[in-house]
A and B are shown apart, each in its own frame.
Chain A
Amino acid sequence: MAAQTDPITIATTWHALQRICREMRQHIERTATNVLACTLHDLAYGIWNAKGEAIAIPEGFPCRLLSSSFQIRAVQKKFAGKIYSGDVFLTNDPFQAGAVHLPDWVFVRPIFFEGEIVFWTCMGTHVPDNGGALPGAYFLAFDSIAEGLNIPPVKVVEKGVLQEGVLDIILANNRLADMMRREIRSNIGSTTLAEKRTVDLLKRYGVETVNACMDEMIKRTEKAVREKIAQWPDGVYKAEAKTDDDGANIGVPVTIRCTLTIKGDEATFDFSESDEQVRGYANEGYSVTMSEAMAAAFMFFGPELAAYHNEGSLRPVHIIAKEGTVTNCKPGALVAAAPSLIGNKVLECVMDTLSQALPHQAAACHPGPLELMFIGPDMRTMPPQLYVYVSFNPDAGAGATYGNDGYQIFACGGTLGVVAKSDAEEEMVRFPWRITKYEFMTDAHGAGKWRSAPGVIWEGVNESIDCSSNLGPADGFHTQGKGQQGGWDSRLNKAYIIRGDQTIEIKEPHIPQQLKGGDIFVAKAMGGAGVGRPEERDPEMVRRDVKYGLVSIEMARDVYKVSIDPDTLEIYETATQKMRGDTPETEVTKG
């Protein structure tokens, strides 16, 4: 055994599995026609061993990465004894298979070598339509059946043969069946690629060596994570975060509560005090809570471990959520907004508790999500075709971290910025919308010694006929994300419809809107939260922000306490000192 797990073979196997995951992502980006897969990176993928333990956890949506283990284990259990080489399974079931929500289709493939299963892999993504009562996933349904087609684990490919009958039933319930036929090829193709590459690896080293390496990888990651946690200060830290509402009970926020206990080399995140599960769509299953919480914790384990997480990372970390709460809902609950509403708040709670424990790594909240979904007929095609236009372009950049302003090449905090945006030019060709504004705003950020990335304004004109607008995933119109160490909270998002000379404010984004042809839609994502008190920000940085048009002279004066000459942009030293007084810098002592 010792010879089989020599340091070089372990390193080579480890890096090869990481590379295979990268290739899977490149594959789906290059072949998919669904913007969520190829641009937004809304992907569930990775590599698991025969036992269903996660071996390679790549870059992707935090809600989907570790939660995919649940789909793999569900397939293992349901099809025990009936799993063959060349099989592919599909599921989107949040309750039987721990999927995130119904629009997330996950294709699961066992990888055989010399007659035995050695690996499991999957590729899944959020599909643009999944049947249900209305197009688009983020709507308030009558019940779980109306929320969309429920697909328990089912074999869609047996021994390499596509099960057309099964697919026919699924696609007969889909509004974009043609597109989904392509997407299915693309998703399955990624798992085929993973099979090809892992089999190459097995041919080189043999099953025993590769299995021994995988065990060793898990052991080493666990050890490294334990060492990391052991350096954290023991203690109990509490946090809570609110979403605007549950989509049904408008005006009533839903609260997630988390208690972090660090003891020795183990950490426990307990979400049991969160609100009871709700009537609306803001519930999520345990698999998603676990996956989100772990991903947020990975951020604090440091970049050197980032690419090396696996099942071993889970062993010293415990994620607890009481059944019947919004963080561990019972079967039948509505879960459409699981990732964007509840998942995002789970992530914020973990960031908040760890920012308290580790102030020199503090990370303030990201801005509330502001993602667009327009659904209607495209009159440029004959006959007019239904389009589902999903865009993350209005989303603002990251919240501040200790020592740095928020990173601006970043969208969708709930995904830790995995999302990439589309080119506006591409969107204008694909959808009947003319984009007229898409840039940073002045005075739209959470202030702080380190401020958030600037907020973004997006304006578009509906060039087709009536369509519906669904801001179901949007949040932060009424509730704010927390700043750290005296940094300001995130700012409230806004959206408007301009119809002729009338401006209509969308006060409740979770109530769908009907738009008319010629309407202008305006989205203002106002920026995330800051770290440290704004009056401690380096005046030179404030002056630079003024010069760049990100901060007004007034905000510089009133919030940052820096007096700047509006013509020369020079700092009035005396006036600035007077406003700032002699308050000593906030001391950061913990950690």
Chain B
Amino acid sequence: MYRVCVEIGGTFTDCVVSDEQGNLRQFKAPSTPKDGRFEQGVLDAMAEAAEGYGLTPAEFTSRVELLVHGCTVATNAVVTRNLAKTAMITTSGFRDIIEMRRANKIETKSMYESCIAPYEPIVPRDLRFVLEEETRYDGTVTKPVNKAELKIIIEKLKREKVEAVAICFVNSYANAENERVTAELCREFLDPEIFITYSSDILPTMGEYERFSTAVVSACVGPVVAQYTTALEQGLKALGFTGQLFIIQANQLAQSVTALKRKPVYLIGSGPSAAPAGGVFLGGVIGEPNMLGGDMGGTTFDASLVYNGEVSLTSGYWLDEERVGIKAVDVTSIGAGGGSIGWVNSLGLLQVGPQSAGAYPGPACYNKGGTDPCVADAAVVLGYFDPNNFWGGKMKLDVGLAKAAIKKIADPLKMTVEQAAQAMFTTVNANMADGITEISTKKGYDVRDFSLLAIGGSTAFCAMFIADLLNIKKVVIPRFAPTFSAWSMFCLDIGRDYVRSYICPTSTANPDDINRLFEDMIGEALKEFEVLNVARKDLTLVKTADLRYAGQYHEVEVNLHEGDITAGDIEKLAEEFHKTHADLYTFSMPWVPVEIRNLRLIAKSKGQKIQVERIEATETSDPSGALKQKRPASFNGNYKETNIYDAHKLKAGNVIAGSAIIEHPLTTTVIPEGWELTVDEYGNFIVRRV
């Protein structure tokens, strides 16, 4: 039997397979975004794997007991606006909440940008239907749903042939009754194919804009997700798949397809969300509880954070111009990658990115017609990449073209081509260091307390330079760095997060009310776990509360313990809040009343973790057995003959002092002076500043 993880990326669909002995192999097939038929890429990647094991696709697939899957299907649908025709039913008098967007212009645009096109909301105004109903801020329903009026709206929905409906009522966080009744009637009278959701089901918290927006995003990807998962399930079934299928959610927990279909918004961000959980797992094995994840791809760099063995989550984010209010792995994405283009702005400043040459035409050195200077071109000029043996020899790089492209920025900067290449390299590293600072300082952490986890195919050639900029003393490059996201899916837990609004000062909070709300969430979780036969005793519960000082507009999340909450716990909660506030914001106000705003629960069942296999060890730290050649490479502005090692030939215990380069078909590691790399027993590179 096999266990398989498949991740759909922008260019490739990665597949990592574990056999019964726990041996891992990695495979790739091109992604198939055309017409949204991403499932083909998944089946292709599994066919590649089948071939690797000398089996037919059907033989292989029928032997897969577990398939964990991460995919960008939902994210892609929103970003490209390839969405279901979606309507909204909302409270009369509040038709334009999702279009006014709380006037939050400066979240996504500069205040000095005036010549910009108006925002196009996902649900156009003519599909935003209003209904007479009223719920007060305290939860009292003063106007029940006018059912006659609703039936007229339902007829209009049919006539418009909408594919999804989001029901979004003001104050529904305080009482979901009117939304629920409306949803039930819609389900009764509309075709079962039509996706129906309501805002308090997805995000029962105060704040109509974020709640409505999240419901709309969930609705508009609902049919897309249903179509994709159905096609995938059918494709797998045709090949005899009888194992369990899990899909990774934005919150880094895996979930069954059935449960996911109810809240499809959780699929947005699936894929990149897996890596930090892999970081936690790997950190547990090698004893690194605090890590900053850095993943450099072709166009973007994703920074994430693991503290005390926990992945840092955020309670809301902007996806392009849309606000999504659910919990998601906190990832800061910046436009920095191997394909990022260097340019000189009107202030004479060298900039790298956010524009990228992408996979096509790609960097100039690829010789596919690209003429803009890219980070990969700089790496070739600096001697970090071997032009004759790139991508395991599958690709020849043209140094001349790289130099010609870089000359375009070298001239205005009055630099040599080599100096400009160095400047580009340092600039992109500084951008990435900034992205890491952004994610750590906003959580109140000092980056120097962390190790840098360098994952993805491109990060290893920049990682130590980034670490130098941040004063980080240790870099971890996992053995499976190039396919780390897919590998990480072996380490995921299964579950979901839940939230309930509970607005009350800590001084008068009632433990019974709190426990009742947690029980309600646990009940919801157990229902979602039903298909997996998971009982309550098998669940791990993580309880937290959002707190703020009376009068504040934003909350701080504070942990509770797993058991029933007592009056003493609530007191401790307030103390913990004062402390966290001081850590995050430089001050606390112990004399000000503290308010609970929301209660949150993560319910998960432990996934089956893999064994991390060990590699061959050696008595000697001398790595000369893996030495391939020497070639000139630039360090601190000087070219010098540098040792080049073959990653496949390195053994556990080998130590390599910088400057040196290690080549692997899928990634290149550059060790600058002042750093020393040790190969650990699992084949990871542990690089320390000396």
Q: Which residues of A contact B (CB under 8 A)?
A: 7-8, 10-12, 14-16, 19, 23, 26-27, 29-33, 35, 38-39, 41, 59, 179, 181-182, 185-186, 188-189, 192-193, 196-197, 220-221, 223-224, 227-228, 295, 298-299, 301, 303-308, 361, 363, 392, 395, 397-398, 401-412, 415-426, 428-429, 434, 436-440, 453, 456, 459, 547-550
Query: What is the minimal beta-carbon distance from A542 to any residue of chain B, in angstroms?
Result: 15
Q: Which residues of A contact B442 (CB under 8 A)?
A: 23, 26
Q: Which residues of B contact A16 (CB under 8 A)?
A: 434
Which of B204-212, B298-306, B513-521, B605-613 contacts its partner? B204-212
> Is B685 in the interface zone, CB < 8 Å from A?
no
A304 adjacent to B118 (CB under 8 Å): no
Q: Which residues of A contact B508 (CB under 8 A)?
A: none
B347 adjacent to A547 (CB under 8 Å): no
How distant is the Cα of A196 from the Cα of B125 in the complex, in angstroms?
A: 47
A11-B349, A227-B346 given as contacts; is B208 within 8 A of A306 (CB)?
Answer: no
- Which of A305, A428, A453 is close to B171, meaning CB atoms less than 8 Å apart? A428
B207 adjacent to A439 (CB under 8 Å): no
Q: Which residues of A contact B171 (CB under 8 A)?
A: 425, 428
Known: A33-B551, A408-B119, A424-B208. 12 other contacts (CB 8 A): A19-B437, A31-B585, A305-B347, A306-B112, A401-B115, A407-B118, A419-B103, A421-B100, A421-B102, A421-B103, A423-B206, A440-B100
B552 adjacent to A392 (CB under 8 Å): no
Most buried by B among A33, A224, A301, A411: A33
How distant is the Cα of A438 from the Cα of B98 in the complex, in angstroms?
A: 12
Which secondary structure characterizes the binding site on chain B?
loop
B119 adjacent to A409 (CB under 8 Å): yes
A38-B554, A182-B592, A220-B348 given as contacts; is B111 within 8 A of A417 (CB)?
Answer: yes
- Which of A23, A402, A408, A439 is close to B118, meaning CB atoms less than 8 Å apart? A408
A424 adjacent to B105 (CB under 8 Å): no
Most buried by A among B103, B107, B346, B585: B103
**A31: nearest chain-B partner, CB-CB:** B585
A548 adjacent to B125 (CB under 8 Å): yes
A15 adjacent to B434 (CB under 8 Å): yes
B111 adjacent to A418 (CB under 8 Å): yes
B585 adjacent to A436 (CB under 8 Å): no
A423 adjacent to B207 (CB under 8 Å): yes
> Is B620 in the interface zone, CB < 8 Å from A?
no
How distant is the Cα of A221 from the Cα of B346 in the complex, in angstroms?
A: 9
Q: Which residues of B contact A307 (CB under 8 A)?
A: 110
- Which of A404, A409, A548 is close to B100, meaning CB atoms less than 8 Å apart? A409
> Is B83 in the interface zone, CB < 8 Å from A?
no
A7-B350, A361-B115, A404-B117 given as contacts; is B110 within 8 A of A303 (CB)?
Answer: yes
How distant is the Cα of A412 from the Cα of B104 in the complex, in angstroms?
A: 12
Most buried by B among A301, A438, A550: A438
> Is B65 in the interface zone, CB < 8 Å from A?
no
Q: Which residues of A contact B553 (CB under 8 A)?
A: 29-30, 32-33, 35, 38-39, 426
How distant is the Cα of A228 from the Cα of B581 in the complex, in angstroms?
A: 45
> Is B21 in the interface zone, CB < 8 Å from A?
no
Q: Which residues of A contact B110 (CB under 8 A)?
A: 59, 303, 306-307
B549 adjacent to A10 (CB under 8 Å): no
Q: Which residues of A contact B407 (CB under 8 A)?
A: none
A7 adjacent to B349 (CB under 8 Å): yes
B350 adjacent to A11 (CB under 8 Å): yes
Q: Which residues of B contact A182 (CB under 8 A)?
A: 549, 551, 589, 592
Q: Which residues of A contact B111 (CB under 8 A)?
A: 59, 306, 415-418
How distant is the Cα of A421 from the Cα of B96 in the complex, in angstroms?
A: 13
**A40: nearest chain-B partner, CB-CB:** B103
Query: What is the minimal beta-carbon distance from B610 to any residue of chain A, in angstroms?
Result: 39
Query: What is the minimal beta-carbon distance from B85 to any residue of chain A, in angstroms?
Result: 15
Q: Which residues of A contact B441 (CB under 8 A)?
A: 23, 197
**B348: nearest chain-A partner, CB-CB:** A220
- Which of A303, A306, A405, A550 is close to B125, meaning CB atoms less than 8 Å apart? A550
A425-B207, A439-B93 given as contacts; is B112 within 8 A of A10 (CB)?
Answer: no
Which secondary structure characterizes the binding site on chain A?
helix
How distant is the Cα of A173 from the Cα of B114 in the complex, in angstroms?
A: 41
Q: What 0/1 pattern do residues 582 to 593 of B give for CB contact below 8 A with A?
A: 001111010010
9 residue pairs bridging A and B, Cβ less than 8 Å apart: A31-B587, A197-B441, A306-B110, A306-B113, A405-B118, A421-B102, A421-B104, A423-B210, A429-B206
A8-B350, A8-B423, A185-B587 given as contacts; is B95 within 8 A of A179 (CB)?
Answer: no
How distant is the Cα of A550 from the Cα of B95 in the complex, in angstroms?
A: 12
Q: Which residues of B contact A26 (CB under 8 A)?
A: 442
How distant is the Cα of A182 from the Cα of B548 in the complex, in angstroms?
A: 12
B585 adjacent to A193 (CB under 8 Å): yes
**A27: nearest chain-B partner, CB-CB:** B585
Q: Which residues of A contact B117 (CB under 8 A)?
A: 404-405
**A427: nearest chain-B partner, CB-CB:** B137
**B321: nearest chain-A partner, CB-CB:** A409
How distant is the Cα of A397 from the Cα of B102 in the complex, in angstroms?
A: 11
Q: Which residues of A contact B81 (CB under 8 A)?
A: none
A420 adjacent to B106 (CB under 8 Å): yes
B347 adjacent to A410 (CB under 8 Å): no
- Which of B99, B102, B116, B426 is close to A423, meaning CB atoms less than 8 Å apart? B102
- Which of A12, A193, A424 is close to B170, meaning CB atoms less than 8 Å apart? A424
Query: What is the minimal beta-carbon distance from A413 to any residue of chain B, in angstroms?
Result: 10
B126 adjacent to A436 (CB under 8 Å): no
Within 8 A of A (CB), among B433-468: 434, 437-438, 441-442
> Is B124 in the interface zone, CB < 8 Å from A?
yes
> Is B76 in the interface zone, CB < 8 Å from A?
no
The 9 closest A-B pairs by CB, nearest first: A33-B551, A411-B103, A437-B93, A548-B125, A306-B112, A428-B137, A30-B554, A306-B110, A423-B207
**A428: nearest chain-B partner, CB-CB:** B137
A409-B100, A439-B93, A549-B125 given as contacts; is B552 within 8 A of A32 (CB)?
Answer: yes
A11-B350, A305-B346, A408-B100 given as contacts; is B115 within 8 A of A189 (CB)?
Answer: no
A185-B587, A408-B118, A440-B95 given as contacts; is B106 within 8 A of A418 (CB)?
Answer: yes
Q: Which residues of A contact B207 (CB under 8 A)?
A: 423, 425-426
How distant is the Cα of A411 from the Cα of B104 in the complex, in angstroms?
A: 9
> Is B226 in the interface zone, CB < 8 Å from A?
no
> Is B187 in the interface zone, CB < 8 Å from A?
no
Q: What 0/1 pattern do residues 181 to 217 of B give for CB contact below 8 A with A?
A: 0000000000000000000000000111110000000
Within 8 A of A (CB), among B309-358: 345-351
**A41: nearest chain-B partner, CB-CB:** B106
How distant is the Cα of A182 from the Cα of B581 in the complex, in angstroms?
A: 13
Most buried by A among B94, B100, B171: B100
How distant is the Cα of A12 from the Cα of B432 in the complex, in angstroms?
A: 11
**B99: nearest chain-A partner, CB-CB:** A408
> Is B150 in the interface zone, CB < 8 Å from A?
no
- Which of A14, A189, A409, A437 is close to B587, meaning CB atoms less than 8 Å apart? A189
Q: Which residues of B contact A304 (CB under 8 A)?
A: 345-346
B434 adjacent to A19 (CB under 8 Å): yes
A402 adjacent to B115 (CB under 8 Å): yes
- Which of B112, B126, B206, B423 is close to A416, meaning CB atoms less than 8 Å apart? B112
B552 adjacent to A33 (CB under 8 Å): yes
How distant is the Cα of A453 from the Cα of B101 in the complex, in angstroms?
A: 13
- Which of B102, B124, B430 is close to A11, meaning CB atoms less than 8 Å apart? B430
> Is B504 in the interface zone, CB < 8 Å from A?
no
How distant is the Cα of A108 from the Cα of B351 in the complex, in angstroms?
A: 33
Query: What is the minimal beta-carbon distance from B319 to any residue of chain A, in angstroms?
Result: 15
A29-B553, A29-B554, A32-B553 given as contacts; is B347 within 8 A of A363 (CB)?
Answer: no
Within 8 A of A (CB), among B118-146: 118-119, 124-126, 136-137
Query: What is the minimal beta-carbon distance from B505 to any residue of chain A, in angstroms?
Result: 12
B208 adjacent to A423 (CB under 8 Å): yes
**B415: nearest chain-A partner, CB-CB:** A7
How distant is the Cα of A307 from the Cα of B437 in the complex, in angstroms?
A: 19
**A351: nearest chain-B partner, CB-CB:** B114
Query: What is the minimal beta-carbon distance from A556 to any residue of chain B, in angstroms?
Result: 15
Q: Which residues of B contact A410 (CB under 8 A)?
A: 103, 105
